């Protein structure tokens, strides 16, 4: 069985971390734009009989999705036996219902868009809201890799006096598990959102964090406004400078710069999105999941 890992340009570093345990040949996707902005992808055409895994973190899903479809279809044209997708960050998980009249419900639409092109999907901690399981969105096999064990190990080794803090109720599902694995106390802030840029938070039990180093944990840090409000609250409690651990370092606009200037001792993330803050590697976990699905797709009859 020949395995080929085909990373998009932004995911070249992660590809190296995945490839060693996956034992695949790396054949990067070349991606360039014509003067009018249209994309041209170019692949290694020696794919006859190969099981292919395209690697693309969907941080910029609008820009990447169409070239990704082109790459998947071209891999099949070149004879790939199966084509799967490793998307460490899976975009379009926000709009899973219709909040206002006339809106598109994009989460299932994007799932359909991907499953039309791929035989399987691997991702890390998708941001699930009203959809409880990733498998309920997709008709293709999927694996949800958890970053929790790797994050817990990093915190236990690096910040032994930590108290873990989740910035809102949605973060509790990750913070509670990480706290259990790292044997650390945790709290989840109460949050009131008055608009996209007006968020107010409060710590339920300020006395419980005394003498410990706050480690803020969130699955996705995008605008950073909730974290900034959390930092303002913690400063009023005269605690040590906090750390921030993000599972998915989206950091939209100038969010990263603003967070760096806000008094954090350190900003750390997993490598689901290539970023200077990456410090927690998930390559081995992604490789194990992809290997399982590659083997399964090889053992199954080919699609008609």
| pLDDT value at residue 303 | 44
Q: HEC states along 185-219?
A: CEEECEEEEEECCEEEEECCCHHHHCCCEEEEEEE
**Residue 8, φ and ψ in degrees, nearest 5:** -75, 160
Average pLDDT rounded to a whole number, residues 284-303: 80
| pLDDT value at residue 300 | 56
pLDDT per residue as tens digits for the range 138-150: 999 999 999 999 9
Rounded Cα distance, 284 and 261, in Å = 33
**Residue 201, φ and ψ in degrees, nearest 5:** -130, 160
User: Residue 304: which pLDDT band, with cuts at 50, 70 and 90?
Assistant: very low
Rounded Cα distance, 63 and 270, in Å = 22
| pLDDT value at residue 71 | 98
Percentage of residues in the chain having pLDDT higher than 90? 72
User: Residue 274: which pLDDT band, with cuts at 50, 70 and 90?
Assistant: very high
> Under a CB-based contact definition with an 8 Å cutoff, are residues 224 and 255 in contact?
yes
The tokens 């799932």 sit on which residue?
Answer: 111
| pLDDT value at residue 14 | 95
Q: Is 1-144+280-295's fold the same as 146-272's? A: yes
- The pair of structure tokens assigned to 186 is 């945790």
| pLDDT value at residue 145 | 96
User: Residue 198: which pLDDT band, with cuts at 50, 70 and 90?
Assistant: low
Q: What are the residues whose beta carbons fall under 8 Å from the beta carbon of 43, sequence distance 6 or more?
A: 6, 27, 29, 30, 71, 74, 75, 78
Average pLDDT rounded to a whole number, residues 252-279: 95
Domain 146-272, CATH class in plain words: alpha beta
> Under a CB-based contact definition with an 8 Å cutoff, are residues 187 and 165 in contact?
yes
| pLDDT value at residue 70 | 98
The tokens 């003498």 sit on which residue?
Answer: 211
Among 214-218, 222-226, 277-281, which is the least confidently predicted range? 222-226
Work out the angle at residue 119's Cα, subtended by the Cα atoms of residues 79 and 304, and round it to the nearest 5 degrees.
65
Average pLDDT rounded to a whole number, residues 257-261: 95
Q: Which residue has the higher pLDDT, 217 or 297?
A: 217
| pLDDT value at residue 299 | 62
pLDDT per residue as tens digits for the range 41-61: 999 999 999 999 999 999 999
Question: Domain boundaries in the chain?
Answer: 1-144+280-295, 146-272
Selection from 233, 217, 211 nearest residue 267 by Cα: 217
Across the chain, mean pLDDT equals 90
Average pLDDT rounded to a whole number, residues 282-292: 96
Indicate if the pLDDT at residue 82 is higher than 50. Answer: yes
The tokens 């994309």 sit on which residue?
Answer: 39
Indicate if the pLDDT at residue 301 is higher than 80. Answer: no
Q: Which one of 3.40.190.80, 3.40.1000.10, 3.40.50.920, 3.40.50.2020 gives the CATH number of domain 1-144+280-295? A: 3.40.50.2020
Indicate if the pLDDT at residue 129 is higher than 80. Answer: no
Average pLDDT rounded to a whole number, residues 72-81: 98
- The pair of structure tokens assigned to 95 is 């709009």
pLDDT per residue as tens digits for the range 150-181: 999 999 999 999 999 998 887 888 899 999 99
Rounded Cα distance, 86 and 192, in Å = 35
């Amino acid at each position: 069985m020949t395995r080929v890992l085909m990373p998009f340009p932004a995911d070249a570093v992660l590809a190296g971390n995945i490839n060693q345990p996956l034992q695949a040949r790396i054949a990067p996707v070349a991606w360039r734009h014509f003067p009018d902005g249209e994309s041209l992808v170019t692949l290694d055409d020696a794919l006859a009989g190969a099981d292919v895994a395209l690697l693309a973190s969907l941080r910029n899903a609008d820009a990447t999705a169409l070239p990704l479809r082109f790459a998947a279809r071209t891999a099949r044209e070149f004879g790939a036996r199966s084509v799967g997708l490793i998307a460490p960050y899976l975009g379009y998980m926000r709009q899973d219902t219709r909040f206002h009249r006339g809106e598109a419900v994009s989460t299932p639409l994007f799932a359909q868009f991907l499953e039309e092109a791929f035989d399987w999907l691997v991702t890390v901690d998708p941001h699930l809201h009203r959809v409880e399981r990733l498998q309920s969105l997709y008709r293709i096999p999927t694996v949800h890799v958890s970053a929790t064990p790797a994050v817990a190990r990093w915190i236990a080794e690096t910040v032994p006096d930590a108290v873990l803090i989740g910035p809102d109720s949605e973060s509790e599902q990750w913070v509670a598990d990480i706290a259990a694995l790292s044997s650390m106390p945790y709290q989840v802030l109460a949050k009131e959102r008055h608009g996209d840029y007006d968020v107010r938070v409060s710590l339920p039990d300020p006395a419980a964090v005394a003498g410990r180093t706050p480690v803020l944990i969130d699955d996705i840090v995008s605008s950073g406004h909730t974290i900034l409000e959390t930092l303002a609250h913690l400063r009023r409690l005269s605690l040590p400078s906090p750390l921030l651990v993000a599972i998915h370092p989206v950091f939209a606009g100038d969010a990263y710069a603003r967070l760096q200037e806000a008094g954090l001792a350190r900003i750390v993330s997993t490598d689901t999105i290539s970023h200077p803050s990456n410090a927690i590697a998930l390559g081995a976990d992604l490789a194990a999941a992809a290997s399982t699905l590659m083997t399964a797709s090889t053992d199954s009859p080919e699609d008609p």
